[in-house]
Structure 1
Amino acid sequence: MHAPDDSASVSAPDFEDEAVLLVGHGSRREASNEQVRELAAGLEARLGIPVDAAFIELAEPSLEEAFAELAAVTSRIVVVHCSLFAAGHVKTDVPLAIERARSAHAVEIANGRHLGVHPAILALLDDRAAAVERDLGVDREADEVAVALCARGSSDPDANADVHKLARLLYEGRAFDRVEPTFIGVTEPTLDETLHDLSKFRPDAVVVLPYMLGDGVLTQRIRDWTAEFDDDYPYVDALAGEPLGTDSRLLDVFADRWQAARTESVSMSCDTCKYKVDLAGYEEDVGGARAMLRALTHQEAHADRDDVDDEPHSHDAPDKHLAVCTNRTCAEMGSPAVLERLRQAIRDTEDCDARVTRSSCLGRCGDGPMVAVYPDGVWYGGVEPTDADRIVSDHVDGDRIVSDLVDATL
């Protein structure tokens, strides 16, 4: 898909009553959050319709708050993602927030896809590499220049595979000696391993490209590791470049993703999605229920703690997480009362480390009210408010399953 030209696609949108929600990850470094807001302002100028920014975690406004604010002034919201690849946030967390918003507000919501592999991003990475080459005083046409394309790293193999694809496309047609995909954590190879391996080829220079949007904790870690490598290997000059930042070419990608979402032509990589197909080593992740519970727990687990600024994904996860279906059928059967009684029972129990949250449909309509207990993977059905005390005292606090209420186990 090509970027829309200003006159054809942008100045005369098909939907008059429409707004865009640009969804960023969120960072403890406010400068990174401001970059997302700056991109939202640029996209609003490009599209000519309102564009607000929201964050999945660690920053405000939250998705829930942003949907509520936009639903009060528009009847249609198009979600555009700042996420570079399709991993847990894109596949589970944001869709869950959208389903909640659809249930809570009279608004139509169209969900776009992640930024992904796009010609504009390749051109931007090429320019970032050229800037580092100028700083190092090397020329890829005359010197041996290796590139380490460093992404965040994910537990989703589909996302990690796209990093390899992007690295290959950056290599093709350009005079780099080699372009290696690498990661700052979660998966392998890590950046320090990749830099060590590249040193064996004795290139004239190693260009490290942080494949990240904002300039946060992880980009600084990439700079630090690159500087350490440069000190340890005096025969190789190494330098890290800048992240994608707020380059205007990103607006081309956002505009494409917006156009695809609003015309219902979004394409996702379902054939390699670990939540939909069996992939070696990820068999336990298959299934919408598991993905939903993972999203709930991940969303609740993040905590802003000042003493862990060097660990952007520190977690304070509860021992138990209870998801109560409040979709229409379960709600009509009394799930709101169950939810409130569970919360009260947990408050009344000393040292009970548990959270209770609303859930969208758990896919067991007619068998509710449904309560899912995570990480145990136990689903209770037909739960009455009077059952809440037993679920909390026996299962949550005592680790004993309430067998007569069990509907399913994952």
Structure 2
Amino acid sequence: MSTPDDTPSTTAFDDEAVLLVGHGSRREKSNEQVRDLAADLESRLGIPVDAAFLELAEPAIDEAFAELATIVSRVTVVHCSLFAASHVKNDVPLAIEQARAAHDVEIANGSHLGIHPAIVDLLDDRAAAVERELGVDRGTDDVAVVLCGRGSSDPDANGDVHKLARLLYEGRAFDRVEASFVGVTEPTLEESLHGLSKHRPDAVVVLPYMLGDGVLTQRVRDWTAAFDDEYPYVDALAGDPLGTDSRLLDVFADRWQEARTGSVEMSCDTCKYKVDLEGYEEDVGGARAMLRALAHQGAHADRDDVDDEPHSHDGPAKHVAVCTNRTCAEMGSPAVIERLRQAARDSDHCDARITRSSCLGRCGDGPMVAVYPDGIWYGDVDRNDAERIVTDHLDRDRIVSDLVDRTL
């Protein structure tokens, strides 16, 4: 675990900065917590640390990269995301690839906060604070804990919530520790609370497993209060989110060091984009994830006139993703993306963003080129075909039918 004494001197990193990426919230208090963490991490590491957000807050990631590219040549991305779901696996990598194409800057991508001893200790302290407020003692009273995560469509991320709940239970005198979710997956917090009522514990401690004090945290508090009113024989209270506790800096510092030294570890053995998981077979290869990420990014351009959406992007009419994974690269995809960009610059009508993509799951049929929002995938594209894709599809919205590999 990193400590201030482990941190290298600032002279070793005078051309490096860190971008701390948060999700963004409609509650400015939650966004300020991310900015406070960035300031604290800057003091810890001794190098510039800026905050950026995926949505709902400013600055956006592309704006932050543009700013940092004027002052440093290396940027390390550190995630505020608790688990590796779509934002970590899709949205941020897409933004990084676009920044690499737009700026002369080296970018290293770190991993999510994940499972870390400092977080388990922090959750233990959050539970102890609720116990004190309720006037119970886990050593003598039956205290049940519900760890409530946001919930994800990624089974790997949901599985980590259960793992974290188990680690919190091990070696501690809780009667039980269960994992639950606000939504998307099951069990929901309401289901978990009503299930616990049958065991008649003396107290139920609900821990909102969120970073900031945002909308979802308040929802957890409201549901817990409703349960407390409905079951007078059980005292129930929700604790605080992770917030800006200094122990998070230990995790961020570790993730920063892993990223800049190329030792980032991801849970690929249980990633739905890598392996066949029951019920998620269509996600293998990441194709739908890539299109979802592009749609998510482009959707911000439609929010200009919405008062409660404080930021927007000037999204292009189309996104073009070119697979530059090893097989497609060996088949000529770098030349394809170069020609696509050149033809787009030469065109008077082309309104498209052209970016690199990781594997699209069509190895051997490449180079692969995907055009969104049309959902058209072109296969076996060569340098000359790239010009046709621009002049026909991107300029005149006419599909190049002889190149179509698949449609989504």
User: For the residues of structure 2 that align with 1:83 and 1:256, how far apart are their CA atoms?
Assistant: 14
Distance, in Å, in 1 between the alignment partners of 2:318 and 2:83 is 29
Partner of 2:244: 246
Q: 5 Å matches for 1:93-172?
A: 93-172=91-170
Q: Counterpart in 2 of 1:47? A: 45
1:308–1:171 distance in 2 versus 1, CA, 3 Å: farther
Maintained 8 Å contact 2:110/2:258: yes
Q: Identify the range of structure 1 (324-333 vs 200-209) with the bigger mean alpha-carbon deviation.
A: 324-333
Query: Is the contact between residue 26 and residue 59 of structure 1 (CA under 8 Å) also seen in structure 2?
Result: yes
CA-to-aligned-CA distance 1:46-86 (integer Å, 9 cap, x gap): 11111000111111111111111111110111111100000
Q: Which amino acid aligns with 1:40?
A: A
Q: What's 1:387 paired with?
A: 392
The question of whether the paired residues in 2 share the 8 Å contact of 1:20 and 1:80 is answered with yes
CA shift for structure 1 position 107: 1.1
Q: For structure 2, which runs of at least 5 residues remain unmatched after alignment?
A: 310-314, 323-333
Q: Which residue of 1 aligns with 2:349?
A: 341
- Counterpart contact for 2:110–2:255, Cα < 8 Å: yes
With over 3 angstroms needed to count, the CA separation of the structure-2 counterparts of 1:194 and 1:49, relative to structure 1, is same
For the 8 Å contact 2:122–2:242, the answer to whether it is kept is: yes
Opposite residue 349 of structure 2, the aligned amino acid is R
Residue 324 in 1 paired to residue 320 in 2? yes
C-alpha contact 1:58 1:304 (8 A) present in aligned 2: no
1:233 maps to which residue? 231
Q: Is the 8 A contact 1:337 1:385 kept in 2?
A: no
Does 1:85 pair with 2:90? Answer: no
CA distance in 2, matches of 1:307, 1:330: 35
How many Å separate the matches in 2 of 1:213 and 1:308? 25
Separation in structure 2 between the aligned mates of residue 37 and residue 168 of structure 1, nearest angstrom? 31
Instruction: Please give the alpha-carbon distance, in whole angstroms, between the structure 2 residues aligned to 1:207 and 1:155.
Output: 26
Kindly tell me: are residues 267 and 339 of structure 1, through their superposed partners in 2, closer, same or farther at Cα, counting changes over 3 Å? farther
Does structure 1 retain, via aligned residues, the 8 Å contact 2:156–2:271? yes
Q: Separation in 2 of the partners of 1:134 and 1:306? A: 47
CA deviation after TM superposition for structure 1 residue 140, in Å: 0.5
The aligned residue for residue 176 of structure 1 is 174
Give the 3-state SS of the residue equivalent to 1:341 in structure 2. Answer: coil
Greater Cα shift, 161-170 or 291-300: 291-300
* Range 107-116 or range 295-304, more displaced: 295-304
The percentage of aligned residue pairs carrying the same residue is 67
**1:372: which partner in 2?**
371
Q: 1:20, 1:408 → 2: CA distance? A: 39
CA displacement at 1:14 relative to structure 2? 4.3
Counterpart in 1 of 2:256? Answer: 258
Report the CA distance between 1:246 and its aligned residue.
0.5
Confirm or deny that 1:359 pairs with 2:355: yes
Aligned twin of 1:353? none
Question: One-letter code of the match for 1:336?
Answer: A
CA distance in structure 1 between the partners assigned to 2:232 and 2:307 by the alignment:
33
Contiguous gaps of at least 5 residues in structure 1: 313-317, 344-355, 395-400
CA contact 2:20–2:79 (8 Å) conserved in 1: yes
2:184 match: secondary structure: coil
Tell me the SS of whatever aligns to 1:360.
strand
CA 1:390/1:329 → structure 2, altered by over 3 Å: closer, same or farther? closer
Match of 2:55 in 1: 57
Amino acid aligned to 1:71: A
2:325 alignment partner in structure 1: none
Residue matched to 2:404: 406
TM-superposition CA deviations, 1:104-125 (whole Å, max 9, x none): 1111111111000111111110
TM-score of the pair, normalised by structure 2:
0.85
Secondary structure of the residue aligned to 2:221 is helix
Query: 2:350·2:395 contact (CA, 8 Å) conserved in 1?
Result: no
Alpha carbons of structure 1 residues 301 and 307: separation in structure 2 relative to 1, 3 Å: closer
Q: How far apart are residue 263 of structure 1 and its match?
A: 1.1
How far off is 1:100 after superposition?
A: 1.1
Give the SS at the match of 1:239: strand
Tell me how far apart the structure 1 counterparts of residues 305 and 137 of structure 2 sit (CA, whole Å): 43
Alpha-carbon separation, structure 1, partners of 2:84 and 2:394: 39
* Letter aligned with residue 240 of structure 1: A
Letter in 1 for 2:127: A
* 1:260-294 deviation line (CA, Å, top 9, x unaligned): 11111111101111111111111111114333222
Structure 2 partner of 1:196: 194
**8 Å CA contact retained: 1:369, 1:384:** no
TM-score, normalised to structure 1's length?
Answer: 0.85
Counterpart contact for 1:88–1:156, Cα < 8 Å: yes
Computed over aligned residues only, the root mean square deviation of the Cα atoms, in angstroms, reads 2.9
1:101 positional shift? 1.1
Change (3 A) 1:339 1:285: farther
Within the alignment, does 1:17 sit opposite 2:15 as a pair? yes
Q: Which amino acid aligns with 1:358?
A: I
Q: Distance in 2 between matches of 1:264 and 1:362?
A: 18
Q: 1:371 to 1:168 in 2, by over 3 A?
A: closer
TM-superposed CA distance for 1:367, in Å, is 7.5
Residues of 2 paired with 1:306 and 1:110: CA distance? 35
Read off the aligned partner of 1:329 and give its amino acid letter: V
Give the paired residue count. 381
How far, CA to CA, are the matches of 2:307 and 2:236 in structure 1? 29
Q: Which moved more, 1:364-373 or 1:325-334?
A: 364-373
SS of the residue corresponding to residue 190 of structure 2 reads helix
